Structure 1
């Protein structure tokens, strides 16, 4: 299962498609921090090269693009996926064009441009997705993380790392927008189970911000008159393309979906920062949701993105 001659997520290249002659920025093998008094395991994905878990998916997707001779990749993103795509395209010597909604954090847009990608600003997240696909040229490959199967292949390596550390959790509580990490974790644990390495798959809990919670509403019904979270900007996808797959994971593992509001996110951020865990608000949603669940122990909570990229948005919380 493990190639000892490789580092990071490429240690599992036998289980990852398009892994031959790969380029890397050192993605994977992020730290684990246990908070024993709460019974949780934090996977610090914000230690990834560009500061988010999206590096895993981008690494595999861009490597595949490079292998098949693509000249230009296209992505649509509110921030982290775009930064990862731009950085890995730069590493691979491939052009990148990223479609970004106008409400994406300024720091994230700056980083995308800094990596050499062309940024196309759009009015909404939906417009960004539609234009990214509609404006493709013959030289382009669309690697949109909401659709790309290779992205999921990168995400599943988180589960493999947990297995190597002998830390398969009882439950997973994770933020869900397009669901790439959620689905990737499930795929990784499922493959480990099918290979006979583990005998159970954790229970999965999806977390979304109030006011834009399609997974929660599919299970619990629509909620009217709820103010949309202004902090969970990374979770604002009104109709995830893989919605049915996400719901299937929840049903199969007897899990659930939860929502959190801005007050709960702020409190979670404060508690995490006091523990030295410097994450963005979207990451804090999962910890906020965990606080609302009773009786759970041995829980994996992925810390998906660094707070440094969103300092302009969260500065008022800490001043």
Structure 2
């Protein structure tokens, strides 16, 4: 598929034969595809039930034979609303970030990269480490020293070079970027446009599995899942498969809520979230894009507290979903949106459950609410 790499800030087009994650002007890059008048059904490889099903929608040659994607959907009716839980936590690396890491690592290998560098609170590092291990690419992962031990141990099992940084996620991001060197490129998902290309495949899958949706509820940290879903649904509209992009409900945790506050949400708490480590990002570089995407879909934003996250973790487990605290964040927003009338009765909602709780058993046991049933 013909494509361009374009700076979102100045509009300049970058070369496609070298790894670029930030323009000289400081802007982020997006991938722009040229569908050349082709239609969705002819571009889908129906023999595949994984991300390679959508290979013609991706700016990469030679995707590896790894079963990523095509995660199941479980349908539940909640207060008269059809809620479709997409079980992203059942992917190989245990989170939705496998999609972006799969496409990014394939692109890095195509360009002859020897090693990749990523900053992460855990899940992105695990996804990149797994893909690097399967692709024969070295992986350096920079994590906060306070990141969950279960995730750090898994990184080491996946043969990543783990660098623990004493600081917050912004500090970790800066240290990872400084580590770029000959043959080793920074692929961090905050900036990396190929990561979003991987995430958009979730929208394609959801369309093929359940058709159109009225709303999508997503947790927001770096914003890659939101932007990926938005881009995927936009492309489905461009291909005349859907009439419109679903309304996006963006959800953040207390203390990490600049995007939601930009969208008019009120923060009701005084302390920072200690549970939603996967979205503990103060000011992501794609902040403006995220806000614009939510506004264009007539969506809205919600900020949630740790006590609400704890309650939702228990409710999700009763529904059969063993997920991490960050995955409970959109479920809080779902219930609130239904209660306040943002989500109408008989509507159809897509809610990705983003990360597995099996990586965090020790941490979940420490949350006393999680021991109740």
Fold-level similarity (TM above 0.5)? yes
Residues 130-160 of structure 1 deviation map (CA, whole Å, 9 limit, x = unaligned): 1111121111111100110000000000110
Preserved CA contact (<8 Å) 1:78 1:234: yes
**Residue number in structure 2 paired with 1:149:** 193
**Residue number in structure 2 paired with 1:318:** 370
Matches within 5 A, 1:272-283: 272-283=316-327
How far apart, CA to CA, are the structure 2 residues paired with 1:209 and 1:243? Answer: 15
Select 2:66's aligned residue among 25, 35, 40. 25
Unaligned 5+ segments in structure 1 are: none
**TM value normalised by structure 1:** 0.96
Preserved CA contact (<8 Å) 1:70 1:141: yes
Preserved CA contact (<8 Å) 1:25 1:49: no
Residues 253-303 of structure 1 deviation map (CA, whole Å, 9 limit, x = unaligned): 111110111111111111110010111000000001111113422111100
Shift of 1:90: 0.5
Shift of 1:224: 8.4
Shift of 1:223: 4.7
How many residue pairs match? The answer is: 318
Residues 22-50 of structure 1 deviation map (CA, whole Å, 9 limit, x = unaligned): 22431100000110244211000001001
Shift of 1:221: 6.9
Unaligned 5+ segments in structure 2 are: 1-42
**Residue number in structure 2 paired with 1:300:** 350
**Residue number in structure 1 paired with 2:7:** none
Q: Secondary structure at the match of 1:111?
A: helix
Matches within 5 A, 1:33-72: 33-37=74-78, 38-72=81-115
Select 1:122's aligned residue among 155, 165, 183. 165
Preserved CA contact (<8 Å) 1:24 1:59: no
Higher alpha-carbon Rg: 2
User: Taking structure 1 as reference, are residues 243 and 71 closer, same or farther at Cα in structure 2, changes over 3 Å only?
Assistant: same
Root-mean-square deviation over aligned CA pairs? 1.4
> Which moves more between the two structures, 212-221 or 97-106?
212-221
Shift of 1:21: 2.2
Residue 3 in structure 1 maps to residue 42 in structure 2: no
Q: Secondary structure at the match of 1:299?
A: strand
Shift of 1:57: 0.2
> Which moves more between the two structures, 169-178 or 126-135?
126-135
**TM value normalised by structure 2:** 0.83
Residue 201 in structure 1 maps to residue 245 in structure 2: yes
How far apart, CA to CA, are the structure 2 residues paired with 1:135 and 1:229? Answer: 29
**Residue number in structure 2 paired with 1:231:** 275
User: Taking structure 1 as reference, are residues 227 and 273 closer, same or farther at Cα in structure 2, changes over 3 Å only?
Assistant: same
Matches within 5 A, 1:161-176: 161-176=205-220
User: Taking structure 1 as reference, are residues 256 and 221 closer, same or farther at Cα in structure 2, changes over 3 Å only?
Assistant: closer
Q: Secondary structure at the match of 1:183?
A: helix
How far apart, CA to CA, are the structure 1 residues paired with 2:181 and 2:50? Answer: 33
> Which moves more between the two structures, 219-228 or 186-195?
219-228
How far apart, CA to CA, are the structure 2 residues paired with 1:270 and 1:224? Answer: 22
Shift of 1:7: 3.4
How far apart, CA to CA, are the structure 1 residues paired with 2:147 and 2:210? Answer: 38
Preserved CA contact (<8 Å) 2:223 2:290: yes
